[in-house]
Amino acid sequence: MSTTRRLFVCVKQKTEVGANVAKALRKELKKQGLRVLVTDGARQHVRVQTCSCLDLCEHCKKGPGAALIVYPEAVAYGNVRPADAAELVARHLGEGKVLRRLLLK
């Protein structure tokens, strides 16, 4: 069975930053060979999408980065910049752990 993991990046308040974060995440997924994950024999495709408000607006206002949510686990990150993409992809999707320094509570 094939399922999909999705990373939704808010572009409502910071359109260019959000778009650049999404682009950097896609690039890293490809570079790190993580566009398709295999967990317990099941394939998961990983998609990155830009979206409107994620109801994390206070985190969009703070700092230079964007807010994003990873589904289906619904883990939210804030102030994510394009330079964070490699670490976020490696940690969250590669190792299956949260990236604490950007995690929203």
Least distance (Å) from ligand FES to the CB of residue 9? 9
Given the complex with ligand FES, which of 67 and 70 has the nearer CB atom?
Answer: 67
State the Cα–Cα distance between residues 13 and 22, nearest whole angstrom.
Answer: 15
State the Cα–Cα distance between residues 20 and 62, nearest whole angstrom.
Answer: 17
SS3 at position 3: strand
Encoded tokens for 28: 């890293």
Enumerate residues 49-88 that contact ligand FES by CB under 6 A. Answer: 53-57, 60, 67
Least distance (Å) from ligand FES to the CB of residue 47? 19
With 0-12 / 13-18 / 19 or more C-beta atoms within 10 angstroms meaning exposed / middle / buried, residue 2 is exposed
Enumerate residues 4-23 that contact ligand FES by CB under 6 A. Answer: 10, 12-13
Given the complex with ligand FES, which of 62 and 97 has the nearer CB atom?
Answer: 62
Given the complex with ligand FES, which of 26 and 77 has the nearer CB atom?
Answer: 77
SS3 at position 71: strand
Which positions lie near ligand FES, rule CB under 6 A? 10, 12-13, 53-57, 60, 67
